[in-house]
Amino acid sequence: MKLDKEFSVNTLALDRKQQDVYNRNPHLREIFINRKRFLVYTKDFVKEQRFLKLFPRGTDLRISPSRNVTTEHWGERKAMLTEIEFLTNYAKQGTFSVIYVGAAPGSHINFLSTLFPQLDFILIDTKEFVAKETEKIHICSENFTNELAKKYSRNGRDLLFICDVHTFGPHHDLDDYMVQDMYDQMVWYSTLKPQASLLRFRILRAETYEYLKGDLILEPWASRRNTECRLVVVKDAPKTDYNNRAIEAALAYFHDTTRTMFYEHDLNDSEAEGLDHCYDCRAEIFILHRYLSKIQNISNGKALIQKTAEMSFDISRNIQDKTRPPITNGIRTLNVIQKK
């Protein structure tokens, strides 16, 4: 990689402790490469760390985007983990139909379905699917409309709604397309009346925007240029005003600072393939812990650690598009940037 040639422990003049952090945490190496302050998160990692934190007006966040970036962007993993988290929280009790709009290509969905065998997934998109139909996965290759929403609202089962629809258009009209996407998913939510929804929340040009009240969820493994997050909304949610500039600033702080802080966890290097101590890795461990304890009912601490490592390993191998070159070859290592 380009950064291998430009930087080494010697050129960075790291002390022994910094060198150890640098070698063992490739996702955090940009802190040393960019000469930024090394921050350690010292509190317990709890569910509030999965929510976007908004700051009071006038807060000086001292955001300075990194020139050299060492976090990973893995879109299918990002989707997989946020959906595991959502379904863990809302699909434990009862059987649901999951209406998933904008699901293509869905290379992670067959594996996701095996984690929640009590659920039926209805995947709707006009784009080509990598996901395969099964007894629990049904594919509908058409545009989602309010008429379809009415049809599914009458199927007699409780619903969960996942929406990842995004319309593309001319750059100068992009805000108009985003407004339409946001409006459409709100209408579908109102028609479907799901028990809970995982929606796409996009930052709009307007200063404030009235929308469904819910929790803004951070996405691990996102692009550093990502300017959106997910919104979890429960049934019959009221509307509230969102300040787009405050959300934009909070997301910038998340990508620039929160993602590259050091977070302790209980998986060691030998157990955790591809996981170090960055936010994305710590969030993945937290999400998988909760799934295993709440859905699989694993309570033994040692077993929970082992199963978390195994599940992370399995995710890496079951979410890849088999028609494309593999992202991982053999073991998924932490050597995103080779050690020096």
pLDDT of amino acid 270 = 60
Q: In the Cβ-directed half-sphere of 78, how many Cα atoms lie within 13 Å?
A: 20
Residue 262 scores a pLDDT above 90 = yes
pLDDT of amino acid 180 = 92
Topology of domain 75-252 in CATH is Rossmann fold (3.40.50)
- Alpha-carbon torsion 226, 174, 102, 87, what sign? positive
**Residues 6 or more apart in contact with residue 17 via CB below 8 angstroms:** none
Residue 57 scores a pLDDT above 70 = yes
pLDDT of amino acid 170 = 53
pLDDT of amino acid 209 = 94
pLDDT of amino acid 7 = 64
**Do 108 and 79 touch, CB atoms closer than 8 A?**
yes
Quote the CA–CA distance of 315 and 111 in Å, as a whole number: 8
pLDDT of amino acid 11 = 78
For 93-102, the pLDDT digits (tens) are: 778 999 999 9
If one compares 169 and 153, the residue with the highest pLDDT of the two is 153
Place of tokens 């060198």: 19
For 7-39, the pLDDT digits (tens) are: 666 678 899 999 999 999 999 999 999 999 999
Name the pLDDT band for 67 (thresholds 50, 70, 90): confident
Residue 340 scores a pLDDT above 50 = no
Q: Is the peptide bond before 238 cis (omega within 30 degrees of 0)?
A: no
Beta-strand ranges (E) seen in 213-272 are 215-217, 228-234, 239-243, 262-263
Name the pLDDT band for 269 (thresholds 50, 70, 90): low
For 75-126, the pLDDT digits (tens) are: 999 999 999 999 999 998 778 999 999 999 999 999 999 999 999 999 999 9
For 125-145, the pLDDT digits (tens) are: 999 999 999 999 999 999 999
For 292-338, the pLDDT digits (tens) are: 999 999 999 999 999 999 999 999 999 875 554 554 444 455 443 33
Q: Which 8-state DSSP code applies to residue 194?
A: -
If one compares 154 and 336, the residue with the highest pLDDT of the two is 154
**Do 80 and 106 touch, CB atoms closer than 8 A?**
no
pLDDT of amino acid 63 = 74
Residue 12, classed as helix, strand or coil, is: helix
For 200-248, the pLDDT digits (tens) are: 999 998 999 999 999 999 999 999 988 899 999 999 999 999 999 999 9
Provide the residue ranges of all domains of the chain, joining segments of one domain with +. Answer: 2-71+258-318, 75-252
Quote the CA–CA distance of 210 and 76 in Å, as a whole number: 30
pLDDT of amino acid 83 = 99
CA 144 to chain CA centroid, Å, is 23
Nearest to 161 by CA among 142, 184, 128, 127: 184
Please state the length of the chain.
340
